[in-house]
């Protein structure tokens, strides 16, 4: 796969604040990458350096092979950027605004209408195209921001918190749109919503306190984390002797009774040493007592576990 973004030792300081420290990562063509990190982690600053809005204090990056400092015009031509708060002109109509933006991006003559028309269509803005921007809902404003980023057909889209402040329906629509755009764009988006990354992205860059903690596919990240050693079992029979026997197992730390269904099925959650699997031992205990067993499940680590592990303040 060819490389779309190569960041090498990027750093940015604002006075004494080290917003980004020595960030190196590679993003290949076609990837949908989530920058994931708590508030103030350095996601926006990293994006602003890639887009040329902020000069790095150290290090460099290239977009589609063009250095962001030495060949900033070519680098910018390959990307579309949607900032966190899309700065729209409220007193312009949607088409008017996009035409204005297209001209600013160096699109001329009849190409302006074509570019604006394409962007409007891709972002589902047709019904709103004659509206004044100030009358648009937040979801449609985000779409205008996306349509703007798409002008000039960039290969790379950089979207800063594209779903921030939207209601659940608007969030679904914008995510759907991003997934569609990913068919022919490389996408970087930032978020602090874990589920968003799981739903939309095929690569995650975890950023915390200005540093890159991990950069991999969600499945590789969760695989790398030792399984939490937690299982759930569901059985029908006497609770006490089963709990006592499981508690007596060497690796087990804690047995919790989660509840009993009206039909008498007990659910137990067993916590054991990390990386161990006590399913067989627990099932053998139920069998020894002659009780019925209908469910044994091993909890696997989630992206949330990875995130907590990597951004934990020890
Ligand atoms: N212009 C600036 N001047 C001074 N400090 C800044 C400036 N921009 C960002 N910072 C600081 O740099 C750090 C990283 O900020 P950044 O906005 O990149 O984080 P973020 O991960 O995007 O956070 P959020 O999720 O809240 O948007 C923060 O401590 C922030 O206060």
- Closest approach atom of ligand 1 to CA 46: 18
CATH fold for the domain made of 230-308: Alpha-Beta Plaits (3.30.70)
Contacts of 12 (CB under 8 A, 6+ apart): 18, 19, 20, 42, 45, 46, 49, 54, 56, 57
Residue 20 CA to ligand 1 center (angstroms) comes to 9
Residue whose CB lies within 8 A of the most ligand 1 atoms, among 17, 56, 209, for a mutation test: 17
Phi and psi for 115 in degrees, rounded to 5? -60, -45
Grouping H, G, I as helix, E, B as strand and the rest as coil, residue 187 is: strand
In this predicted structure, the answer to whether residue 305 has a pLDDT above a threshold of 80 is no
Q: Whose CA is nearest to atom 26 of ligand 1?
A: 39
CB neighbours (10 Å) of residue 129?
17
Mean pLDDT across 293-308: 83
Kindly state the DSSP code that residue 289 receives in the 8-state scheme: H
Q: Which residues line ligand 1 (CB under 6 A)?
A: 14, 17, 19, 37, 39-45, 192
Strands 66-67 and 58-63: antiparallel
Residue 188 CA to ligand 1 center (angstroms) comes to 18
Instruction: Specify whether the CB–CB gap between 199 and 175 falls below 8 A.
Output: yes
Model pLDDT for residues 9-26, shown as the tens digit of each residue: 999 999 999 999 999 999
Banded pLDDT at 288 (limits 50, 70, 90):
very high
| Element of type H or E holding 203 | strand 203-208
Distance CA 20, CA 145 (A): 26
In this predicted structure, the answer to whether residue 65 has a pLDDT above a threshold of 80 is yes
Residue 35 CA to ligand 1 center (angstroms) comes to 14
In this predicted structure, the answer to whether residue 222 has a pLDDT above a threshold of 90 is no
- Closest approach atom of ligand 1 to CA 192: 25
Residue whose CB lies within 8 A of the most ligand 1 atoms, among 16, 42, 209, for a mutation test: 42
pLDDT of residue 19: 93
Kindly state the DSSP code that residue 115 receives in the 8-state scheme: H
Point out the least confidently predicted range of 98-107, 247-256, 271-280: 271-280
In this predicted structure, the answer to whether residue 227 has a pLDDT above a threshold of 70 is no
Instruction: Specify whether the CB–CB gap between 25 and 7 falls below 8 A.
Output: yes
Distance CA 3, CA 291 (A): 57
Q: Which residue intervals of the chain bear CATH 3.40.50.300?
A: 1-78+156-170+180-224
Distance CA 257, CA 268 (A): 5
Instruction: Specify whether the CB–CB gap between 233 and 302 falls below 8 A.
Output: no
Q: Which residue intervals of the chain bear CATH 3.30.70.3100?
A: 230-308
Q: Which own/partner pairs from 255-263 qualify as long-range (CB within 8 Å, at least 24 positions apart)?
A: 258/232, 263/236
Grouping H, G, I as helix, E, B as strand and the rest as coil, residue 281 is: helix
Nearest of 303, 159, 312 to residue 217 by alpha carbon = 303
Banded pLDDT at 1 (limits 50, 70, 90):
low
Q: Note the pTM of the prediction, 2 decimals.
A: 0.80
Q: 254 has which bridge partners?
A: 271
Banded pLDDT at 244 (limits 50, 70, 90):
very high
Banded pLDDT at 173 (limits 50, 70, 90):
confident
In this predicted structure, the answer to whether residue 293 has a pLDDT above a threshold of 60 is yes
CATH fold for the domain made of 1-78+156-170+180-224: Rossmann fold (3.40.50)
pLDDT of residue 226: 62
Q: How many angstroms separate the Cα of 97 from the Cα of each of 78, 116, 195?
A: 21, 9, 33
Q: Whose CA is nearest to atom 11 of ligand 1?
A: 19
- In the numeric block, the tokens 């190409």 are attached to 111
Q: Whose CA is nearest to atom 7 of ligand 1?
A: 14
In this predicted structure, the answer to whether residue 314 has a pLDDT above a threshold of 80 is no
Q: Whose CA is nearest to atom 5 of ligand 1?
A: 14
- Mean confidence (pLDDT) of the chain: 90
Model pLDDT for residues 39-59, shown as the tens digit of each residue: 889 999 999 999 998 999 999
Banded pLDDT at 220 (limits 50, 70, 90):
confident
Instruction: Specify whether the CB–CB gap between 42 and 19 falls below 8 A.
Output: yes
């Amino acid at each position: 796969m060819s490389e779309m973004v190569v960041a090498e030792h990027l750093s940015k300081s604002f006075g004494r604040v080290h917003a980004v420290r020595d960030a190196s990562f590679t993003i290949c063509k076609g990837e949908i990458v989530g920058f994931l990190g708590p508030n103030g982690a350095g996601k926006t600053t990293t994006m602003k350096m890639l887009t040329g809005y902020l000069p790095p204090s150290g290090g460099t990056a290239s977009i589609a092979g063009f250095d962001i400092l030495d060949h900033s015009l070519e680098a910018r031509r390959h990307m579309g950027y949607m900032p966190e708060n899309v700065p729209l002109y409220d007193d312009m109509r949607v088409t008017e605004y996009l035409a204005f933006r297209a001209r600013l991006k160096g699109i001329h003559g009849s190409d302006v209408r074509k570019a604006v028309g394409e962007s409007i269509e891709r972002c589902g803005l047709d019904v709103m195209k004659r509206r004044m921007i100030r009358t648009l809902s937040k979801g449609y404003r985000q779409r205008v921001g996306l349509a703007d980023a798409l002008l000039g057909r960039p290969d790379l889209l950089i979207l800063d918190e594209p779903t921030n402040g939207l209601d659940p329906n608007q969030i679904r629509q914008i995510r759907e749109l991003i997934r569609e755009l990913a068919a022919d764009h490389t996408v970087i988006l930032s978020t602090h919503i874990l589920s968003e990354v799981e739903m939309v992205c095929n690569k995650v860059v975890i950023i915390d306190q200005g540093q890159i903690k991990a950069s991999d596919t969600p499945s590789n990240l969760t695989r790398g984390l030792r399984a939490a050693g937690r299982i759930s079992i569901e059985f029908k029979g006497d609770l006490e002797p089963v709990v006592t026997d499981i508690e007596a197992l060497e690796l087990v730390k804690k047995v919790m009774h989660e509840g009993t269904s009206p039909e008498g099925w007990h659910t137990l959650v067993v916590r054991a040493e990390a990386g161990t699997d006590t399913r067989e031992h627990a099932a053998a205990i139920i069998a020894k007592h002659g009780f019925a067993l209908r469910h044994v499940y091993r909890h696997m680590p989630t992206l949330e576990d990875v995130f907590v592990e990597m951004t934990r303040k020890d």
